[in-house]
C-alpha cells in the first residue's frame, strides 16, 4: 500500500505532487543553502525513481528535464514515486559556474560524495543530499552535460552489474553508448552503486546547445529517456523502446598539445565509429599556421567536443570513447 513520502519540507500524499526543499545551512545574512525537491507520489505501489540535476552550476539540463517530466506525469496513474532534484548545487547554479563559489576547497561536487556532515560547504550539501537519496531511491540517474565548456552527445557512465545494465538499456533507443569510466568517482552514482542500487551518469547538451530550440530538444531527449525508464519498470503504461545497437567502452580525454585555435574536422560525426589515427581536429596559431593535429587514439567514437575554438595547452579538446564491443 502506498504511503506518504516526506523529504525535507516536501510531504506528498499518495496520488499527489508536492514541492519543498532540503535545508542544508543558514547563512549569516539570514538566507539559507537549500536543495529544491519535488515528490511525485504515485497512487499505486512501485519503486522510487530518483533524478538528480545541477550538481555542476553550468549544466542546467537537469532543471529543464525535471520541469518537463513533472508536467508529463499524472500521479494518480503512477505506480511508485519519482523524486526530482533539479539542482543539487544551488550556489553554483546561481553563479553559472561549475563549482560552488562559496567553497573553493571542494570545487567539483561530483567528486566528493558521500561528503561530510562537518566538512566544507559542498561536502555538507553532498552529505545531506546523499542521506535522503539512499533512504528513498531504488534507482537513480544524474543528468550532466558539457556545461560552459563543451557539447556532449548521448552517452552514459555505468557499472557493469546486471541491474545497472538493465537501467542503462531502459534509457531507450537514443542511448547507445555505455562507458565504464568514472564508476568509482565519488559521485551520486558511485554511492548508489556501492549499495547495490542501479544508477547512471548521463551526458547530453552543453554550450553549443543553449539556443532556445536546441536546449529544448536536449530536454525532450532526456524526457523521452525518463519516460522509457518509467515504462520499462511498469511505473506507467506505454510502449518501451530499446537501442538496436549498443556500444561499450571507456572514456579517454584528448588534451590540447598546443595553445591556439581549435578547428574540428568538419567531416566527423558524433557517436559514429572511427578508426585509430583518423583526423579529429587541427590547432592553428593566430597567424593561421598549423601547430598540430589531433587524431583518434584507438578505434572508437567522439561523444563530445569543446565549444570554444580558443584553447590553451593541456585543456580538454575531445571526449573520446574507446569502443571495446557491444553490451
Q: Smallest Cα–Cα separation from 79: which of 43, 118, 35?
A: 43
Element (H, E) at 176: none
Torsion over CA: 166, 168, 172, 173 (sign): negative
User: pTM for this one?
Assistant: 0.96
Domain boundaries of the chain, sorted by first residue: 5-232, 249-326
Q: What CA–CA distances, in Å, run from 225 to 34, 57, 167, 228? A: 28, 22, 10, 5
- The grid cell for 306 is 569543446
Q: Tell me the sheet residues that pair with 206.
A: 151
- Tell me, what's the pLDDT at 2? 78
Question: Residue 289 burial by CB count (10 A; 0-12/13-18/19+): exposed, middle or buried?
Answer: exposed
> For the segment 21-54, what is each residue's pLDDT rounded down to a tens digit?
999 999 999 999 999 999 999 999 999 999 999 9
Q: Tell me the sheet residues that pair with 20.
A: 37
> For the segment 84-135, what is each residue's pLDDT rounded down to a tens digit?
999 999 999 999 999 999 998 888 999 999 999 999 999 999 999 999 999 9
Domain 5-232 shares a fold with domain 249-326: no
Contact of 127 with 119, CB cutoff 8 Å: yes
Q: Given the DSSP bridges, would you call strands 5-7 and 44-52 parallel, antiparallel or unpaired?
A: unpaired
Element (H, E) at 248: strand 247-255
Q: What is the CATH number of domain 5-232?
A: 3.40.630.10
> For the segment 268-312, what is each residue's pLDDT rounded down to a tens digit?
999 999 999 999 999 999 999 999 999 999 999 999 999 999 999
Torsion over CA: 100, 106, 108, 114 (sign): negative
Q: Tell me the sheet residues that pair with 178.
A: 156, 248
* Whole-number Å distance between alpha carbons of 87 and 107: 16
The pLDDT > 90 percentage for the chain reads 94
- Tell me, what's the pLDDT at 209? 67
* Whole-number Å distance between alpha carbons of 227 and 279: 37
Per CATH, which fold does 249-326 belong to?
OB fold (Dihydrolipoamide Acetyltransferase, E2P) (2.40.50)
State how far Cα 187 lies from the chain centre.
11
Amino acid at each position: 500500500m502506498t504511503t506518504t513520502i516526506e523529504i525535507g519540507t516536501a510531504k506528498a500524499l499518495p496520488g499527489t505532487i508536492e514541492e519543498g526543499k532540503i535545508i542544508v545551512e543558514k547563512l549569516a545574512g539570514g538566507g539559507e543553502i537549500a536543495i529544491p525537491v519535488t515528490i511525485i507520489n504515485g497512487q499505486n505501489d512501485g519503486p522510487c525513481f530518483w533524478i538528480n540535476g545541477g550538481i555542476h552550476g553550468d549544466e542546467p539540463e537537469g532543471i529543464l528535464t525535471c520541469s518537463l517530466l513533472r508536467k508529463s506525469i499524472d500521479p494518480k496513474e503512477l505506480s511508485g514515486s519519482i523524486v526530482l532534484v533539479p539542482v543539487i548545487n544551488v550556489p553554483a547554479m546561481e553563479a553559472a559556474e561549475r563549482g560552488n563559489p562559496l567553497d573553493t576547497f571542494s570545487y567539483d561536487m561530483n567528486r566528493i560524495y558521500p561528503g561530510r556532515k562537518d566538512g566544507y560547504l559542498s561536502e555538507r550539501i553532498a552529505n545531506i543530499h546523499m542521506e535522503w537519496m539512499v533512504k528513498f531511491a531504488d534507482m537513480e540517474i544524474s543528468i550532466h552535460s558539457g556545461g560552459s565548456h563543451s557539447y556532449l552527445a548521448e552517452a552514459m557512465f555505468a557499472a557493469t552489474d546486471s541491474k545497472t545494465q538493465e537501467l542503462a538499456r531502459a534509457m531507450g533507443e537514443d542511448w547507445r553508448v555505455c562507458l565504464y569510466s568514472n564508476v568509482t568517482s565519488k559521485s551520486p552514482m558511485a554511492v548508489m552503486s556501492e549499495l547495490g542500487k542501479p544508477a547512471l551518469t548521463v551526458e547530453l547538451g552543453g554550450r553549443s546547445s543553449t539556443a532556445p530550440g536546441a536546449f529544448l530538444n536536449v530536454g525532450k531527449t532526456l524526457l523521452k529517456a525518463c519516460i522509457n525508464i518509467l515504462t520499462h519498470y511498469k511505473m506507467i503504461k506505454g510502449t518501451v523502446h530499446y537501442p538496436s545497437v549498443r556500444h561499450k567502452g571507456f572514456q579517454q580525454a584528448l588534451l590540447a598539445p598546443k595553445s591556439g585555435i581549435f578547428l574540428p574536422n568538419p567531416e566527423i560525426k558524433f557517436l559514429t565509429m572511427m578508426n585509430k589515427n583518423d583526423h579529429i581536429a587541427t590547432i592553428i596559431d593566430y597567424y593561421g599556421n598549423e601547430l598540430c593535429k589531433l587524431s583518434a587514439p584507438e578505434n572508437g567514437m567522439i561523444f563530445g567536443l569543446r565549444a570554444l575554438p580558443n584553447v590553451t595547452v593541456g585543456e580538454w579538446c575531445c571526449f573520446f570513447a574507446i569502443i571495446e564491443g557491444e553490451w
